[in-house]
Structure 1
Amino acid sequence: MRHPEYQYLDLLDHVLANGDQRMDRTGVGTRSIFGALLRFDLSGGQVPILTTKRVYWKTAVREMLWFLTGGTNIQPLLRDNVRIWTDWPLAAYRRETGEHIEQAAFEQRIVADDAFAARWGELGPVYGKQWRRWLGADGREHDQIGTLIETLNTNPASRRMLFHGWNVGELGDMALPPCHMVYQYHVTSGGRLNCLMFQRSVDLLLGAAFNFVGAAALQLMLAQQADLTPGELIWVAGDAHLYLNHLDQAHEQLAREPRPFPTMRLARRAASIDDYRIDDFVVEGYDPYPPIKGEVAV
C-alpha cells in the first residue's frame, strides 16, 4: 500500500508544476491550485504527522487546546512557548506605534505585562471565540463544541454535527479570518468517528502540517468524549498554495521518501473537552527528516 504521506507530496508536486502564479494579499506571491482532498485513516492509531520534515507536533496540539479554551489572546500561547501567532499582533504594534521592536522583546513584554498583553496581544474574535462563544443576533452565546459533543453522545446519526468559524459579522475584527473554517463529523454504525475539515486557504509548506495534527488531535479528543473510536480524517482545501519564497523548500521536501507515520494516543480519559493537557498526548514512533524552514507571510 502506498504511504499516505504521498498524498501531500503529490499535492506539493502538482502545485509546483501546475499552480497558477499570481500576487496575493501578503505581497509575497503564490503558486496555487483550487480544490484538493486528502484522506488519512486514524483507526490503527497512526496520525498524519509528516515525516519528510520534522513537524513540531506539540506546538500544533497546544494551539488546538488553546482554541478549545475560547481564548483570543496570545499571552497563554507564549507562556507555552508557542510563537506561531505572534506575527499578526507584532505587525499591528509596529504599524500603530512606529516602534520597530524585535519579536523576542515584544513576546517578552506580552508574557510579563498583563496590561500590555491585553492591549497588544489580542487577535480579535478568532477561532476559539467562534467555536466556544459564537454571538448570536439575540445576544446569546453558542458553544458549538459543547453542542457537537452532546449530539455525538445523544444523536450520532445526525447530519448536523459540525462547527465553523466564518462569522461574517466579526470577520473585520479578526487578525486573520479562519483558514480551517468548517469541521463536520460522521459516526459509522460500527462506532467510528470520521471528520471532514474544510480549509478555505492553506499555506502548504508551513500551515498544512500543523492543520493535519490539530485536526487529528481534536478527533481523538472528541472520540474519547463520545466513547467512539477514531476513523477517517478527510482534509479538503479551497485555495492550496505555495508562497513563491517556499518553492526551493518544497523541492527539498519532495526529494525525501516518507517514513512510517507515528501513532498518537491519549494517556488518560479527560473529564471533559476542557480538561485535556499537552501531557495527555503520547506520540510514539516518530522518526522524521530534519525540519525545513520558511518565512511566514503576514
Structure 2
Amino acid sequence: MSYADRLFKETCRDILENGTDTRGEKVRPRWEDTGEFAYTIKKFGVVNRYDLRREFPALTLRRIALKSAMDEILWIYQKKSNNIHDLNSHIWDQWADESGSIGTCYGDVIRRKFLYKGEETDQMDYVLRQLRENPYSRRIMTNMYQYEYLHSGALDPCCYSMTYNVTKTEEGLVLNAVLNQRSQDMLAANGWNVAQYAILLMMVAQVNHMIPGELVHIIADAHIYDRHVPVIRELLTREEHPAPKVWLNPEVTDFYAFTTADLHVEDYETGEQIKNIPIAV
C-alpha cells in the first residue's frame, strides 16, 4: 500500500491525539465565507521521509491532481513567474491583483539575479549549475523566504527552501533533497506539496543524470483546521491502494524544456475525491 498514505495517516492521528488546539488564541487566518477565526490543532516539527527509489509518494486516499501540482512547480521554478496568467489552475486567484500578480514572492524571488563568483545568475540556475560542476557541495539550495520582499508579496511562502545533496552509490549519483515548510494545512496541502516537490526532485535529477533519492519533508507547524477535522477523520478510515507508477519523459535533458505532458502516471487508484475544501485566508 502507498507509503505516503501511511505517513499521512500517522501524522494526522498524531496531530489529533497529541496536538495543541489554538482555539482562543490570537490567530491570523479567517474563514472566507464567515470572517470567523480559523483555529487549528497543530504539531510542531514534523519530519517525514520519502524514498523515490521505492515508490512515488502520492496519496491514494484521495486523488491528487499530479499534473496540476507539476504545473505549479514549473510556474515557480521554471517560468519563475508571479503572475497567475502563467498558471493553468486557479489556486492563486484569490491572492492576485487586477493584473494577475501575487507580488514579490515565489517565482519572483527565484528569478531575482545575484552575483556568484562575478557572474549574474538566479537561484534555480545556480542549483542546476552547481549540481553539474560541484555536485558534492553542501551549499546547493533555493530559499524563497527573503525578508526584504515579504512586505510586497501576497503571501509568505509556505514551502520556502529546497536543499539538494548528492550521495554516491554503486548505481550512480543519487540526488536527495530537504524541503523546509514553515506551515502546512494537512488536508488541503500535504499530498499536493509532497507530490509536487517529488516531481521537482525527479526533474532536477534527470537533467543532471542522477537518480532521484530521498525527499525529506520538514514541517515546522503541521495543522488541521477546525472545519477539516471531520474530513480528516473520514480519510483515516479509507482503504489504502498501491502507489501509482510515475515517471518523466526520459528524452528531456533540459530543465527548462519540461512540460506537464512529460509527466506520465499509471495505475493511480484512489478513493473518492473531496470537493470544495474550505480554505482559510
Residue number in structure 1 paired with 2:66: 57
Normalising by structure 1, report the TM-score.
Answer: 0.84
Preserved CA contact (<8 Å) 2:187 2:228: yes
Q: Does 1:235 align with 2:213?
A: no
The superposition leaves residues 81-104 of structure 1 with CA deviations (integer Å, 9 ceiling, x where unpaired) of x01111223xxx6xxxxxxxxxxx
Q: 1:205 aligns with which of 179, 187, 194?
A: 187
SS of the residue aligned with 1:187? strand
CA distance in 1: counterparts of 2:60 and 2:142, whole angstroms: 29
Residue number in structure 2 paired with 1:218: 200
Unaligned runs of 5+ in 1: 94-118
SS of the residue aligned with 2:212? strand
Q: Does 1:158 align with 2:158?
A: no
Deviates more, 1:165-174 or 1:10-19: 10-19
CA distance in 2: counterparts of 1:231 and 1:183, whole angstroms: 14
| Pairwise CA distance, 1:255 | 0.5
| Pairwise CA distance, 1:63 | 0.5
CA distance in 2: counterparts of 1:2 and 1:56, whole angstroms: 16
Residue number in structure 2 paired with 1:38: 48
CA distance in 2: counterparts of 1:75 and 1:277, whole angstroms: 16
CA RMSD of aligned residues (A): 1.8
CA distance in 1: counterparts of 2:247 and 2:38, whole angstroms: 38
CA distance in 2: counterparts of 1:184 and 1:76, whole angstroms: 26
Preserved CA contact (<8 Å) 1:52 1:288: yes
| Pairwise CA distance, 1:155 | 1.1
Q: Given residue 12 of structure 1, which amino acid in structure 2 is its aligned partner?
A: C
Q: Does 1:88 align with 2:95?
A: yes
Q: Given residue 66 of structure 2, which amino acid in structure 1 is its aligned partner?
A: W
Preserved CA contact (<8 Å) 1:42 1:231: yes
CA distance in 2: counterparts of 1:43 and 1:206, whole angstroms: 26
Preserved CA contact (<8 Å) 1:201 1:240: yes
SS of the residue aligned with 1:258? coil
The structure with more helix, counted as a fraction of residues: 1
The superposition leaves residues 41-90 of structure 1 with CA deviations (integer Å, 9 ceiling, x where unpaired) of 1014x21110011111111111111112111011122xx2x01111223x
Preserved CA contact (<8 Å) 2:206 2:253: no
Q: 2:39 aligns with which of 29, 54, 70?
A: 29
Q: Does 1:289 align with 2:266?
A: no
SS of the residue aligned with 1:58? helix
Distance 1:225 1:3, change over 3 A: closer
Preserved CA contact (<8 Å) 1:8 1:38: no
CA distance in 2: counterparts of 1:141 and 1:170, whole angstroms: 20
SS of the residue aligned with 2:168? coil
Residue number in structure 1 paired with 2:32: none
CA distance in 2: counterparts of 1:245 and 1:141, whole angstroms: 47
Preserved CA contact (<8 Å) 1:3 1:258: no
Unaligned runs of 5+ in 2: 30-36
Residue number in structure 2 paired with 1:8: 8
| Pairwise CA distance, 1:276 | 0.7
CA distance in 2: counterparts of 1:236 and 1:266, whole angstroms: 25
Distance 1:53 1:130, change over 3 A: same
CA distance in 1: counterparts of 2:278 and 2:267, whole angstroms: 29
Correspondence 1:141-152 to 2 at 5 A: 142-152=121-131
Q: What's the % identity of the aligned pairs?
A: 33
